Amino acid sequence: MEDSRKSKLAFEHRDGQLADRFGRVARKFRISVTDRCNFRCHFCMPIKPIWKPKDEILTYEEIARVAKILAGMGVTKIRLSGGEPLMRRDIDKLVAMLRQIPQVTSIAMTTNGFYLPEMAERLKEAGLDSVTVSLHSLKPERFEEIVGKGEVFERVIEGLKMAQKVGLNPVKVNVVITYGCNEDEILDFAELARKTGLTVRFIEYMPFDGRKLWRPELLVSGDEIISRIESLYPLIPLPREQGSTAQVYKFADGIGGDIGVITSMTAPFCGDCDRIRMTADGKIVPCMFSKDEYDVKSLLRSGATDEEIAAFIRQAFWNKFAGVETLLREQQVIAHVRPMYELGG
Q: Show me where the domains of the chain are located.
A: 2-342
Tell me which H or E stretch contains 310: helix 306-318
Rounded to the nearest 10°, the torsion over CA 4, 5, 11, 16 is 180
User: Looking at the predicted structure, is the pLDDT value of residue 46 above 80?
Assistant: no
Is residue 12 pLDDT above 70, yes or no?
A: no
Confidence of residue 334 (pLDDT cuts 50, 70, 90): low
Residue 303: strand, helix, or coil: coil
Q: Which fold has domain 2-342?
A: TIM Barrel (3.20.20)
Tell me how far CA of residue 217 lies from CA of 132, 205, 221, in angstroms.
27, 10, 10
Tell me the backbone φ, ψ of residue 176, rounded to 5 degrees: -90, 120
pLDDT digits (tens, 9 = 90+) for 94-142: 999 999 999 999 999 999 999 999 999 999 999 999 999 999 999 999 9
52 burial level (CB within 10 Å; 0-12, 13-18, 19+): middle
Instruction: Give pTM, 2 decimals.
Output: 0.92
**Number of Cβ atoms within 10 Å of the Cβ of 327:** 17
Per-residue pLDDT of 138-194, as tens digits, reads 999 999 999 999 999 999 999 999 999 999 999 999 999 999 999 999 999 999 999
Residues 240-261 have a mean pLDDT of: 95
* Per-residue buried b or exposed e for 289-300, using 16+ beta carbons within 10 Å of the residue's own CB: bbeebbebbebb
Residue 239, phi then psi, degrees to nearest 5 = -60, 135
Pair type for strands 283-285 and 294-295: antiparallel
pLDDT at 115: 98
Confidence at 4, pLDDT banded by 50, 70, 90: very low
Q: How many residues would you count in the chain? A: 345
Q: pLDDT digits over 201-212, tens only? A: 999 988 876 666
Please compute the mean of the pLDDT values over residues 235-256 and round it to a whole number: 95
